[in-house]
Amino acid sequence: MTKLSKQDKIDIYNKWKYYGKSSYQLGEEYGVVTSNLRYLFQLIDKHGLEILDRSPHSYSVEFKEKAIKRILTGNEAINQISLDLGLPNQGTLHNWLRKYKEDGYNVINHKKGRKSSEGQGQTNSRTSKANQRPKTEESRAYCRKQIYKKIGCLSLSKNQKPKAQEIVSAVTELRQELHVTVNFVLKVINSKPDLPHLSRSNYYYVLKHDDKDKKNKKIMERIKKIYEEHRHRYGYRRITAQLQREGIEINHKKVKRLMTKMHLYGIAIRRRRKYSSYRGTVGKIKANLIRRNFKSVMPNRKWYSDVTEFHLNGEKLYLSPIMDGCTQEIVSYTLSRRPVLKQVMDMLKQAYKKYPALNGLVFHTDQGWQYQNPLFQTWLKNHGITQSMSRKGNSLDDGMMEGFFGILKREMFYGFEKTFKSLDELEQAIKEYIEYYNTKRIKTILKNHTPMEYRNVILNQN
C-alpha cells in the first residue's frame, strides 16, 4: 500500500469532502485501501486537520492498557476507540491487542528496531510454533470461549446448517485473531456436539477450492469494459440492460453481485441549487396544459425546455436545451456565457430546422422571463405551437427537464470540476455528453433503447 504524506492526506480529504469523489475512486487514484481512507476521513472530521501534525511517538504502558480494557470490558468497537484516541490508523489498536494476548495478557513495550541476527535462525521456528499455542490455561479458556461464540453464531443466524465455506471462513478468521493453529480451532469445535463439525482435510479442500466465479471471468471482463466505456456512469441495472441488448441472458442480481465483487459502483448523486430565471410577472402567463403528464406517444407532440447554469472558476455557462416528451432526446440546445433572449431564440430556430412540421406541438417551460417575452411567444404562435407554462414555484411541473439536468450534471460535472481548465473545455464536454446521451446512453424507460433508437422504433411502428 502506498505511504501517504501529510499533503496527500489533506488533498484526499478535500477531494472527498468538497468535490464529491468517493473513497473507492480516491483509493484507486492513490493506491490506498478504501477502509483506510474512510478511517482517515472520520479521524479528520473528529479531530480536525491538526491531528495530522502529531509526530509518531511511543505510547505508555498505561495508555495501551486503558485502550485494551475498553475493548475487552467495555464492549466498544475497536474502530471507535481508535478514533476517540486519535490513533493514526485502525491497525494500531489491533496490533496492541494481538501482542497483549501473545505476551500472556500483559502489556509490554517492545523495543523498536531489528533483533540481533545472532542465534536468530535457531530460535525462529521454535518461537513461531510457540506463538501458535495459547500459553496459559487462562488464555486457552479465552480462546475456546471466542471460538464457541463465533462458530455458534453461524448456526444461530440461520434456520439451516451453515455451509462449509462459511465455517472455513470463520476458522480462518479465528486463526488470525487468536494466533492459534487450525488443529486447535477444529479440536475445540469438534468437541462440542451442538457446533457444526469440520475435518482438517475438508478445511483445506474448501480453502483451496476454485472460486465459484471463475466460470464468470468473461462476463466480468465485459461488465468492466461497459463500465469503463461509459465512464462509470452505468449502475448494475443499466449494465444488465446493455448485456441483454448484446444477447447475453443474465439476471440483474448476478450483475450486481459481480460488480460488488469487482468494486464497481455508479456515480453518487449530488444535488445543488438550480438556476432560476423567474423575475416576477413580466409578460402574459400561459396555462399549464401538461399538468405533469409528460409522456407523449409520438415524437414532436410535447417539447420541454429550461435554462441551467454551470459555475466554474468564478465564471458561468448557461445551457438551454429542448427535450422531446416521447423519445427524451435533446432536440436542440445552445450554450451562452450570459442568459440572454438570443440564446433561446437560436435554440428554437435550430429545432425548427431539424423538425419543421410542428403544428399541434405543445411547448412547455417554467415562468422564466425569456418565455414570457413577446418575441418568443409570437414565434411559437406563428409556427403553430401552443405554449404551456408551469405554475409559479412548482418546479415539478417541469420535472422532465429537471430530471435531465440532474443526470447531466451528476454524470459529467459534479465532482469533475477540477478537470475543466476553462469554460471552453466545459462547453466542449457538454456537447460531447449530449451527443453521448442521444446516441449511446440507454434508458430503461425507453425499453433499453437510446433516445435516437427509440425515435426510429416509434416511427417504424406507425
144 belongs to a structural domain: yes
Query: 77 and 175, same structural domain?
Result: no
Q: DSSP character for 447?
A: T
Q: DSSP character for 443?
A: B
**Can you give the pLDDT at residue 130?**
46
Contact status, residue 180 vs residue 98, Cβ threshold 8 Å: no
pTM attached to this predicted model: 0.53
Query: 167 and 140, same structural domain?
Result: yes
Query: 140 and 86, same structural domain?
Result: no
Query: 332 and 200, same structural domain?
Result: no
Contact status, residue 331 vs residue 355, Cβ threshold 8 Å: yes
56 belongs to a structural domain: yes
311's enclosing H/E stretch is strand 308-312
d(C-alpha 3, C-alpha 408), whole Å: 36
Distances in Å between the Cα of 135 and the Cα atoms of 172, 178, 189, 324 are: 20, 12, 20, 75
Query: 223 and 204, same structural domain?
Result: no
Query: 143 and 82, same structural domain?
Result: no
d(C-alpha 317, C-alpha 343), whole Å: 12
Q: How many residues does the chain have?
A: 462
d(C-alpha 197, C-alpha 185), whole Å: 11
**Can you give the pLDDT at residue 335?**
96
Task: Compute CA 3 distance to the chain's CA centroid, rounded to the nearest angstrom.
Answer: 24
3-state helix, strand, coil split of the chain in percent (to 5) is: 55, 10, 40
Distances in Å between the Cα of 242 and the Cα atoms of 229, 236, 298 are: 12, 10, 25
10-23 burial, b at 16+ Cβ within 10 Å, e below that, comes to eebbebbeeebbbb
d(C-alpha 352, C-alpha 356), whole Å: 5
Query: 148 and 87, same structural domain?
Result: no
The parent domain of residue 190 ranges over 133-208
Cell of 391: 405554475
Query: 244 and 195, same structural domain?
Result: no
CATH code for the domain of 310: 3.30.420.10
124 belongs to a structural domain: no
Task: Specify the number of domains making up the chain.
Answer: 4
Query: 183 and 97, same structural domain?
Result: no
Give the residue from 48, 76, 110 where a domain finishes.
Answer: 110
Cell of 21: 469523489
What SS3 state is found at 217? helix
123 belongs to a structural domain: no
Query: 394 and 328, same structural domain?
Result: yes
175-203 burial, b at 16+ Cβ within 10 Å, e below that, comes to eebbbbebebbbebbeeeeebbebeeeeb
**Can you give the pLDDT at residue 119?**
47
Residue the block writes with cell 439451516: 160
293 belongs to a structural domain: no
Query: 425 and 371, same structural domain?
Result: yes
Q: Which portions of the chain are predicted below pLDDT 70?
A: 1-2, 55-58, 74-75, 101-135, 155-160, 208-212, 266-284, 462
Query: 362 and 252, same structural domain?
Result: no
98 belongs to a structural domain: yes
Instruction: Give me the phi and psi of 347, to 5 degrees please.
Output: -60, -45
Give the contacts of 340 (CB within 8 A, at least 6 positions apart). Answer: none
225 belongs to a structural domain: yes
CA–CA–CA angle 443, 446, 452 (5° rounding): 85
